[in-house]
A and B are shown apart, each in its own frame.
Chain A
Amino acid sequence: MSQVRAIIESLLFVSEVPLSLTKIKSVLSMYTHVEITEALQQLQQEYAGDKHGFSLAEVAQGYQFRSKPEYGEWIRTLKRITPARLSQAALETLAIIAYKQPILRAEIESIRGVDVGGVLRMLLEKKLIKILGRKNVPGRPIIYGTTQRFLEVFSLKDISSLPTMEEIGDLSDQSVTEIAAEENE
């Protein structure tokens, strides 16, 4: 049991992208599903402890070692990085695509009320969104969707782990009035 845990740990250590359960299973074909998932759970528990600077995160339908957020500042100092902030326009566009995909540019624009051509190009370059195809209507407009990279960047296990629109809806009904109070301070 401890060996399977060590093997998986080594796989995760060298993996560049989140490692899916399917992939781990294909490498460890001699072990059962239960053995592997239990080992993963044990690893997660172990690295969640205070002794470690990183933890085993479940992102983009896979497992990946990631540094803990509380040590982000040290890492940024080491690597001398200033994280690129996504603009409000980019975040809104991304949110629309994440929730409404597959979606056309015109549909995004009708929600945001502004042109999104430039933002879409930037999001494509950053590989946060991708072209799913073209819709079979006059003009054959491009259909957009989010990528695996999007899940990785925003630490999402899968696309369904986003809060639902209804949950957000409840929030926003309150916030329309509540935030008003904050803004007026």
Chain B
Amino acid sequence: MSTTSKTDEYQVQLEIFEGPMDLLLHLIRKNKVDIYDIPIALIMDQYLAYLDMMRSFNIDVAGEFLETAATLAYIKSRLLVPRIGADEDEQEEDPRMELVRPLLEYAKIREAAQTLADSLQLGRDVHVRNIPSEELWDLESGEEIAEVGLFELVSALHEVLKKAEPDELMQMSADTMRLKDRINQLMEILAGVSSVTFHELFAEQARKADIVLTFLAILELVRLQMIRAFQHQPSRIIRLYLAVEDGIAPGATE
């Protein structure tokens, strides 16, 4: 830290930075320095001054900020003390690259975030017609269908379990299927048809373990809002719908 009184220089306005990368990028821009030739000592002083300022405002300095401070100190020391025994032919990489690479990547992401922010956003810049969801109504009978909660799902599970085979006698077997696989299966089933009833999903399963697994998969998918569950009021039949049409990420399929 320099000996001159820094307090005079402090501006009252305190900018809040998202994280150490955000702060570093700001300092580099503020000082108009080349990102490939960062004056580490200068930037580090300002970086630490900012952390001090945060503390003086009683703001908790997150661990990430301290970690980057340590990286800065390490790079500074590497610059001051050349490695002993380093082969002269072998050009040692600038230790600052350790900081520059992630900074450049972060700068790119900031730009990408800006392009997203500037794009025509649905609900902000452009709007679509609001059509009441057809799923909510059984168009043929006109009977009401309500979205179900955990309670209805659990009571439906009880019914399924009642019909299941009695407990097998200590049958030891390796887990034939895991939750993830079952979730994927359910998503595949739903991708093929527009909706499926709760009971259909359990149709071919007799083992309690399978039933529970399927149920957990349904709960997980509902929690992630990937499927929606509706109950037909008079018949109490629960139907599951895919929450998003064509719910496959473009990136995942290509």
A41 adjacent to chain B (CB < 8 Å):
no
Verify B113–A88 contact, CB threshold 8 A: yes
- Give a binary string over B47-87; 1 marks a CB under 8 Å from any A CB, 0 the rest: 00000000000000010100010000000000000000000
Any A CB within 8 A of the CB of B172: no
Note all chain A residues with C-beta closer than 8 A to B245.
Answer: 17, 148
* B119 engages A94 (CB within 8 Å): no
Whether B111 and A147, one on each chain, are in contact in the complex, defined by CB atoms closer than 8 angstroms, is no
Which residues of A are found within 8 Å of B252, using beta-carbon distances?
101-102, 132, 145
Q: Using Cβ atoms and an 8 Å threshold, which residues of chain A touch B225?
A: 124-125, 127
Specify which of A16, A89, A155 lies most central, judged by the most chain B CB atoms within 10 Å of its CB: A16
Q: Residues of A contacting B110 with CB < 8 Å?
A: 92, 172
Other-chain contact of B112, A13, A57, A84, A98 (Cβ < 8 Å): A98
- Provide the residues of chain A in CB contact with B125, threshold 8 Å: 69, 72, 155
The segment out of A32-40, A44-52, A174-182 that lies at the interface is A174-182
Bound-complex Cα distance A88 to B106 (A)? 13
Given contacts A102-B251, A172-B104, A172-B108, contact A68 B126 (CB under 8 A): yes
Output the residue of B26, B62, B111 with the most chain A CB within 10 A. B111
Q: Is the CB of A64 within 8 A of B128?
A: yes
Contact with A along B128-164 (1 / 0, CB 8 A): 1101011000000000000000000000000000000
Q: Establish whether residues A92 and B18, one from each chain, have CB atoms under 8 Å apart when the complex forms.
A: yes
Residues of A within 8 Å of B249, CB to CB, are 101, 130, 132, 145-148, 159
A31 at the interface (CB under 8 A from B): no
- From A19, which residue of chain B is reached at the shortest CB distance? B245
Within 8 A of B (CB), among A145-185: 145-149, 151-156, 158-160, 162-163, 165, 168-169, 171-173, 175-177, 179-181, 183-184
Do B18 and A81 touch (CB < 8 A)? no
Number of CB contacts from chain A to chain B under 8 A: 189
Residue B226 is within 8 A (CB to CB) of chain A in the complex? yes
Residue from the list A65, A145, A181 in contact with B251, Cβ < 8 A: A145
Cβ of A1 within 8 Å of any chain B Cβ, yes or no, is: no
CB distance from B68 to the nearest CB of A (A): 7
Is there a chain A Cβ closer than 8 Å to B32's Cβ?
A: yes
Query: Given contacts A92-B113, A158-B250, is CB(A179)–CB(B29) below 8 Å?
Result: yes
Interface residue total, chain B, C-beta cutoff 8 A: 61
Determine if A91 is an interface residue (Cβ-Cβ < 8 Å).
yes
- Evaluate contact between B251 and A95: CB separation under 8 angstroms: no
CB distance from B238 to the nearest CB of A (A): 22
The chain B residue sitting closest to A55, CB to CB, is B126
**Are A92 and B127 touching (Cβ within 8 A)?**
no
Q: Is the CB–CB distance between B108 and A69 below 8 Å? A: no
**In the complex, A130 Cα to B107 Cα: how many Å?**
25
How far is the CB of B188 from the nearest CB of chain A, in Å?
13
Contact across chains for B113 and A91 when beta carbons are under 8 A apart = yes
How close is A108's CB to chain B, nearest CB, in angstroms?
A: 10
Say which residue of B62, B113, B119 sits within 8 Å of A155 (CB atoms). B119
Neighbour of B119 across the interface among A132, A156, A176, CB < 8 A: A156
Question: B204: shortest Cβ distance to chain A, in Å?
Answer: 24
A83 within 8 A of B: yes
* A40 and B35 alpha carbons, distance in the complex (Å): 48
Q: A112-B21, A130-B226 are in contact. Are A175 and B111 (CB under 8 A)?
A: yes
A79-B127, A91-B113, A113-B20 are known contacts; what are 8 more A-B pairs with Cβ within 8 Å? A66-B127, A72-B127, A95-B116, A102-B252, A148-B244, A148-B249, A153-B121, A160-B250
7 shortest interchain CB distances as A-B pairs: A114-B19, A83-B124, A180-B29, A95-B112, A145-B249, A91-B113, A159-B250
